[in-house]
Structure 1
Amino acid sequence: MIISGANALVTGANRGLGAELVEGLLARGAATVYAAAHDPQSLTHPAVKDPRVVPLRLDVTDLASVRAAAERAGDVDLVVNNAGVSGSGSLLTGDPERARAEMETNFWGPVSVLRAFAPVLARRGGGTAVTVLSALSWAAMPGAAGYSATKAAAWSLTNTARAELRAQGTQVIGVHLGFMDTDMVAHLDVPKIDAWTVADRILDAVAAGEEEVLVDAPSRALKEALAGPPKGLEI
C-alpha cells in the first residue's frame, strides 16, 4: 500500500505507540490522519497541530461510538487497531471484572473496529487493517495471564480476518513485540524497545504488503517456541 496521499485512522492515538504512528504517517505523506481517542482533548502531542490531523472521539468498547467514527472517517485506506489496556493480572487470582474489561478493549474493541471499517476499506479498494498484538500472545507469564489471553484472542481474530477480507483486497497485518517503552510498562525493569522504532517497522510493513511483523528478538523467539513443548513458552 502507498502511504503517501492515503487517509489513515489510528486508535489510541493520544500517547505512546499511537502518537508515534500519527507522526510517522504524517512524515510519510499521509493526506489525513484521524487521531482517535476516548477523549480527543487528551491529544496534546505536537503532531496533532498538523492540519492533516483530525481528532476523533472513539471508545472502542462502545458500539455507537465505533459506528459514528466509521461514518465520520468514511474515507480511510488504513486502519490501525492500537488502543489497549493492561493490568488485570492473573486469571486465577486476579480481579475477574478487570480481566473482562481488559478483554472488552483488547479483543472486542478490534472486533468492533474491524466490523465497522471493513466495508469502508472495501469501498476504497481494499486498503489495510493493522492490529497491534504482543509477544505475550504466545507467552506463559505468571501475573500477565489476563493480558496474554486478550492478545491471543486478538491474534486469532487477525488471522481469521486476513482470510475473510482477502477477497475484498484488504491487507491484514498482525504486529507482535516484546516490552515497549511506554507508560503501560513504565513500572517494569526490563529491556524495552522504543515506540518510534515499532511505529516505523509497522509502516514499513504496510508499504511492503506484509502480513505479520515480528518487531524484536522476544517476539521472534516466542513464535519459534510455539512449535516446541509448552514449557518453552514460559517467561
Structure 2
Amino acid sequence: MPSLNGTVVLVTGANGGIGTHFVHEALARGAAKVYATARTPRTWDDERIVPLTLDVTDPTSIEAAVATAPDVTALINNAGANPPSASLLDVAEADIRANMETNFFGPVFLARAFAPILAAQPESILVDVHSVGSWYAYGGIYSASKAALWSATNSLRLELASRGVHVSGVHMSYVDTRMAAHADGPKMLPAELVASVFNAVEAGEYEVLADELTTQVKAALSGPVEALYPELRTLNGQV
C-alpha cells in the first residue's frame, strides 16, 4: 500500500486553507520533505518545508519546478480557482479560459511533467483534487473544468498504474476556506478533508468521496438526469 512515510511531497496551492493542511498533515504522517508551492510562496517555520514558486498555468514555471524538485514521490494537485460567475452564458470568455487553465490544463500538464520522476520511484503517489462539481453542474465553467479533470484523472490512473504510480481523485462539497466563504450550508473543515484523503491514499483507494452529499450525487449519476436536476421539470412546465 502507498504510504506517506518517507515521501517527498509537492503540494500545489499550498498557501490556501486546504493546501496548508496538506503540507502539515504530510509531515505528521512521516513525509521527509514537502515542497510548498504557490505563485508567491510564503515563509514556513519548518526546515522540512521548501517554499517553491509555481504557476500551474505557466509551462516555464512547471519546467522550473521539475528541475528544482527531482526527488518528488508524491504530487498533490490541489490548486484551483473559481470564476467570478457561475453562469456559462454570462461569464467572460477570458474567465472561462483562465478557469480551464488553472483547474484542468495546469494539473494535467504538471502530472505529465512529473510522471517520469514519479515512475522512477517505488510506490509513488498522484492526488488530484476535484469537487462534487465534477458530477453536479452547479458551478458553470468551474464544474465543467472539474469534470474534465476527473476524466483526465481516470486516464492518468490507467496509464500510470503500470508504472507503479498510485492515482487518487478527491471529490467533496464545500470546505470551510476562503474560496467557499460565499456559500451557505454545512462545510467540511480542511483538516477533516485532508485526513480523509491521506487515509484513503494509504489504504490504496483510488477515489475519495469526502462527504455524504458527494456520495449521494455520485449515486444519482446512474439515474435519469431530471432526477439529479428536478428544476428541469419545473422549467419545462412538468409536474
* TM range, smaller chain: over 0.9
1:122 to 119, 142, 149: 119
SS at match of 1:227: coil
What SS does the corresponding residue of 1:49 show, helix, strand or coil? coil
1:176 aligns with 2:141: no
Tell me if the contact between 2:126 and 2:165 (Cα under 8 Å) persists in the aligned partners: yes
Partner of 2:237: none
- After superposition, the CA RMSD in angstroms is 1.2
What is the SS of the residue equivalent to 1:213? Answer: strand
Instruction: Specify every segment of 5 or more residues in structure 1 that has no aligned partner in the other structure, as ranges.
Output: none
Q: TM-score, normalised by structure 2?
A: 0.92
Report the CA distance between 1:232 and its aligned residue. 2.9
Who is 1:82 aligned against? 78
Q: Are 1:156 and 2:157 an aligned pair?
A: no
* Letter paired with 1:39: T
Q: Aligned residue for 1:207?
A: 202
* Distance in 1 (alpha carbons) for counterparts of 2:227 and 2:153: 24
1:29-178 superposed matches below 5 A: 29-40=30-41, 43=42, 48-87=44-83, 88-141=85-138, 144-178=139-173
- Alpha-carbon distance in 1 for matches of 2:134, 2:4: 28
- The answer to whether residue 186 in structure 2 is matched with residue 185 in structure 1 is no
Larger Rg: 2
**TM-score, normalised with respect to structure 1:** 0.94
In 1, Cα distance between equivalents of 2:19 and 2:105: 19
Give unmatched runs, 5+ long, in structure 2. 231-239
Q: Alpha-carbon deviation of 1:131?
A: 0.2
The Cα of 1:231 is off from its aligned counterpart by 2.0
Residue 126 (structure 1) shift = 4.7
Moved over 4 A (4+): none
